[in-house]
Amino acid sequence: MVFPQAVLDALSSEPDAVAFEHGPRKVTRGEARDLIGRFVAALRGAGVSRRDGVGVATAVTPEGWAAQIAAQTLGCRTVGIRAGLPVAHLRTVVSDLAAIVVDEASETPELRATAAGAKILRVGPELLSVFEEPVPAGRPSDIGWVVFTSGSTGLPKGVTYSFEALTAQGIEQRPEETPADLAARYRRFLLFGTLTSAVMITHLRSCLLAGGTVVIPESLPDFPWILPRLDITAALTTVPRLYKILDVLRASEEDPVDLSSVRMLVVAGSPVAPGLMAEAFSRVGPGMQQAYGQTEVGKLTVLTPADVAEFPDALGSAGRPCAGVEISVRDASGAAVAPGASGEIFVRSAGQFSGYWGNPSQTASVLQDGWVRTQDIGHVDPSGFLHLTGRMRDVVIVNAVIHYTGPIERALASYADVDQAYVVAAPDPATGEAAHAFVVAAPGRDPDVAELRALVASSLGEAAVPSSVTVIDAVPMAASGKPDKAALLGLLG
């Protein structure tokens, strides 16, 4: 059975049950399957065939998801197109696509101009007038999904998944869970943000496979009130949003927000302070989870309140491996280290990525002998909990999105009035982490901070703009002779 057959079977099993709830609109499982078949017919009618690239640039709607599944049913390479990409990034994402599915909001002049070689298919009654029985045509080794990263390395990287990997991913399930547990956890999953998010799509799929309903709010979710108001049992959050949730829960102790229906509230994307995690476990309850993962391999580890209750020293860890995930800690030569010793974290799972689209050298640097280099440093304790202690990558994780500091530094240093530029990461309650830039002026020059920020935005996107830009006389140096980024952090006060 090749992906997405399991999804199609799940939709067929209870055709009258609700698959999507989008504001007042309800889409049954049978109707969702019908949507997929109509997109299959539309794509085939547009001349799309197996191994073609199909972009999906829509809002978070049942139609947007159905278009993705339909393209994969035809054996195509589905590519999510995030709104608001800089033109250079957009050009990378839409290159080599045969067709792009759009809706009214996403059909911008920039997209049409950049994707001039692709057929633009606008969602509507005319496009979806014909139904074709969806029969998966992908082959196991074909690429069925490309997830593009933020572009913080200069241009987005396309993380590719084969149909074999997509089939193996199946449903996100913890080893101790029963089908009844899964059904309760995913009874109502909150979907928001973007359909280009790998983690959102993965949980959406798990929800439907578990027999649940995907709930799409009509506006941006107001955490934590949205959880009881929409009877949500499963949702994702970032560290900044978790801070806000806890602020509300602290302030409403006399009239508490009822989170008793929540079976899974996952925080991920950036480091979580142990004290904050302990408070979250206490205030949110047994459904609170901390997860660690990467786009290339999905969710790797999970930490729950039950884990910490049994193993108090696990607080501050990233949790224990998920089902089917193998972890290997290695030294600089690639050899496994002694139990408990620190090294680089390598991981492996049946559902991991195949490589980076069109970039074999980058693939070879990360995918080695079937193992994925996370480029994170850590160790596994005697109870099996993974502790992360550092990074080999020089990155800052802002709002759960990785930004490499090197490209930001290069953009700043390209400004005529700047001689040197350095970017450091610091914890931030609003965004998890924040990037802070320090620049040394060229002799006799006075850099304009506003122009520097605009330069980074135009080169790398607004999300890569540092939280602060400070002009300094000279960069502090460490004993090694390298720039002392810890000392730069001290300048923030």
| 402 contacts 460 by C-beta, under 8 angstroms | no
Is the pLDDT at 176 greater than 90, yes or no? no
Domain covering 5-169: architecture:
3-Layer(aba) Sandwich (3.40)
Report pTM.
0.85
Is the pLDDT at 175 greater than 80, yes or no? no
Mean pLDDT of 453-478: 89
**pLDDT reported for residue 482:** 61
**pLDDT reported for residue 93:** 95
Q: To which residue do tokens 């799929």 refer?
A: 205
pLDDT band at 397 (very low <50, low <70, confident <90, very high): confident
Q: How many whole angstroms separate alpha carbon 227 and alpha carbon 19?
A: 18
**pLDDT reported for residue 413:** 85
pLDDT band at 154 (very low <50, low <70, confident <90, very high): low
Is the pLDDT at 317 greater than 60, yes or no? yes
Is the pLDDT at 481 greater than 70, yes or no? no
Mean pLDDT, the chain, whole residue set:
92
Q: Can you name the CATH fold of 395-490?
A: GMP Synthetase; Chain A, domain 3 (3.30.300)
Report the percent of the chain where pLDDT is more than 90: 74
Is the pLDDT at 193 greater than 70, yes or no? yes
Query: What is the 3-class SS of 196-225, one letter each residue?
Result: CCHHHHHHHHHHHHCCCEEEECCCCCCCCC
- Token couple for 52: 């073609």
Is the pLDDT at 195 greater than 80, yes or no? yes
Summarize pLDDT for 334-375 with one digit per residue, the tens. 999 999 999 999 999 999 999 999 999 999 999 999 999 999
* CB proximity list for 435: less than 8 A, separation 6 or greater: 396, 398, 403, 405, 408, 423, 424, 425, 464, 466, 467
**pLDDT reported for residue 485:** 78
Domain boundary assignment for the chain: 5-169, 395-490
Is the pLDDT at 429 greater than 90, yes or no? no
pLDDT band at 55 (very low <50, low <70, confident <90, very high): very high
- Token couple for 287: 């459904």
**pLDDT reported for residue 292:** 94
